[in-house]
Amino acid sequence: MKKKIIFGLIGLAVIFLFPIIDNNTYHLYLLNRALIHAILATGLVFLTGFAGQISLGQAGFYAIGAYSSAYFSTRLGLPIFLGIIIGIGISVLAGFLLSIPSFKLKAFFLSLVTIAFGQIINMLVVNLQPITGGPYGFFGIPFYHVGDYMLSFENVFWLLGVILLFTLYIMYKIKHSHYGRAMLAMNSDDVATETCGISTKKLKIAAFGFSAGLAGLAGALYAHLAGFLSPEPFTFFESSNFVAMAVVGGLRDMLGGVVGGIGLTLLPEFLRFGGWENYYLMVTSIIVIVIIIFMPKGLAPLLGNMFKKIFRVKSSNTKTL
């Protein structure tokens, strides 16, 4: 047990030192986006893998978080920190709203409603020009700073890393509490869950709120990282990428969102710079389909097993030495 923690800490240290080893600005920017996607996909793992609900409109919450934080910090001059909090707040409220259809609807029907939700938000982003800048974009969003000190990409990487770890910690604690058990129970059988004295409506509201909050947080973090917003990253296709991240990573795994979010952000870039510049998006979608068909449990459990094996080999080696 102690060994595990030590290995874990060493692993974390290596990851946190990464920006010092490789300080190429573009790589750092990408890594930061990967972490943001990991936060969002973690929310989807919670919503779908744990609570058994589905959302194909997650880009809608991502947009709400991004534009709210951008608006409040740029136009109204609030501190970034407050902008992000407001972004999360509005997203959570929207998430509560989107949970209402889930009281009655399941699976495909629910996914259709969430698609329509995402489309409506996208429509608003394009058409509410005075607030969002519409297709011309939203410019001049302040980058991360503390007073007069501008954070570097390395600093932001560490900040995002800490936020992601904190998110995972919250999710871990919730999962191993009466709330988490109730969510998993609802995922398996909602009638039986109700007869255990649990309101599945409340659970659904909470699950949608939580995942929407994380998507809003991710959107707000993205807005201040990019400094500029346009409607492109908030379409139906982004929503489907987000779900793909969660599924490819592994819906039943705590780390599914992290593996999927980081993997599916970096993979297209590897392909793009590995000589596939024209085909990288096509190839990415094919790879995702293949993973879904042949590894329906996702990559995270696979990686987990791999690590376990490596550790075992190592510990036995040290014994024979």
Partner 1 sequence: MDILKTKNMTKSFGGVVANKDLSLTIEEGKITAFIGPNGSGKTTFINVVTGVHPITSGEIFFQDKEISKYESNQISRLGIARTFQKIRLFDNLSVIENVLVARKSFYKSGPISVVFNTKKFREEERQNKEKALELLDLVGLKDKAYESPKGMAYGLRRCLEIARALALEPKLLFLDEPAAGMTRDEFKVIMDLMLVLRERGITTVLVEHTMDFIKAVADWVYVLNFGEIIAKGPFDEIEKDPVVLKAYLGEE
Partner 2 sequence: MLQDILQNIISGASIGATYGLVGLGVVFLWLTISRINFANISSAMLGAYLFITFYGMNLGFFLSFVFSVALIALYGLGLRQFIYEPIRKRGGGRLEFVVATLMLCTFWLNLIIVAYGALPRPFPPVFGKSTDFVSIGSIKISVLYLNIYFVIAILMVLIYILLNKTLIGKSFRAAAQNREAAALMGINVKFTTSLSFMMATCVVGIAGILLAPIYFVSVELGGGAIGVKGFASAVLGGLTNPYGTILGGVCLGVLENFSTLYISSTYKDVISFSVLILVLIIKPSGIFNWKSKRV
Q: Which of 286, 306, 310, 313 binds partner 2 (CB under 8 A)?
A: 286
d(CA 63, CA 231): 8
d(CA 165, CA 182): 24
Backbone angles phi, psi at 57, to 5 degrees: -125, 25
Q: Which residue has the tokens 């919450």?
A: 61
The partner in contact with residue 42, picked from partner 1, partner 2, none with C-beta cut-offs of 5 to 8 angstroms by kind, is none
Helix count (H) and strand count (E) of the chain?
14, 2
What would the x/- binding string for partner 2 be over residues 119 to 148, using CB under 8 A? Answer: xx-xx---x---------------------
The partner in contact with residue 104, picked from partner 2, partner 1, none with C-beta cut-offs of 5 to 8 angstroms by kind, is partner 2
- Under the binding rule (CB under 8 A), the answer on residue 113 touching partner 2 is yes
Residues from 15 through 54 that contact partner 2 (CB under 8 A): 48, 54
Sequence-distant contacts of 267-276: CB under 8 A, at least 24 apart: 269/30
How many other C-beta atoms can be found within 10 angstroms of the C-beta atom of residue 105?
16
Backbone angles phi, psi at 169, to 5 degrees: -60, -45
CA proximity to 225, closest of 60, 21, 25, 75: 25
What value does the CA radius of gyration of the chain take, rounded to a whole number of Å?
A: 20
Nearer to partner 2, 109 or 307 (CB): 109
- Under the binding rule (CB under 8 A), the answer on residue 85 touching partner 1 is no
- Under the binding rule (CB under 8 A), the answer on residue 281 touching partner 2 is yes
d(CA 87, CA 74): 13
d(CA 178, CA 280): 44
The partner in contact with residue 282, picked from partner 2, partner 1, none with C-beta cut-offs of 5 to 8 angstroms by kind, is partner 2
3-state SS, residue 150: strand
CA distances (Å), origin 213, targets 31, 33, 127, 145, 232: 22, 17, 24, 23, 21
- Under the binding rule (CB under 8 A), the answer on residue 299 touching partner 2 is no
Residues from 206 through 245 that contact partner 2 (CB under 8 A): 235-237, 240-241, 243-244
Nearer to partner 1, 42 or 114 (CB): 42
- Under the binding rule (CB under 8 A), the answer on residue 107 touching partner 2 is yes
Q: Which of 192, 292, 306, 310 binds partner 1 (CB under 8 A)?
A: 192
Give me 253's structure tokens: 């795994």
Residues from 141 through 170 that contact partner 1 (CB under 8 A): 169-170
Minimum CB separation from partner 2 for residue 75, in Å? 22
Q: How many residues bind partner 1 (CB under 8 A)?
A: 24
Binding residues (CB under 8 A) for partner 1: these are 169-170, 173-174, 177-179, 181-182, 184-185, 187-189, 191-200
Binding residues (CB under 8 A) for partner 2: these are 48, 54, 56, 100-101, 104-105, 107-109, 111-113, 115-117, 119-120, 122-123, 127, 235-237, 240-241, 243-244, 247, 251, 278-279, 281-282, 285-286, 288-289, 292-294, 296
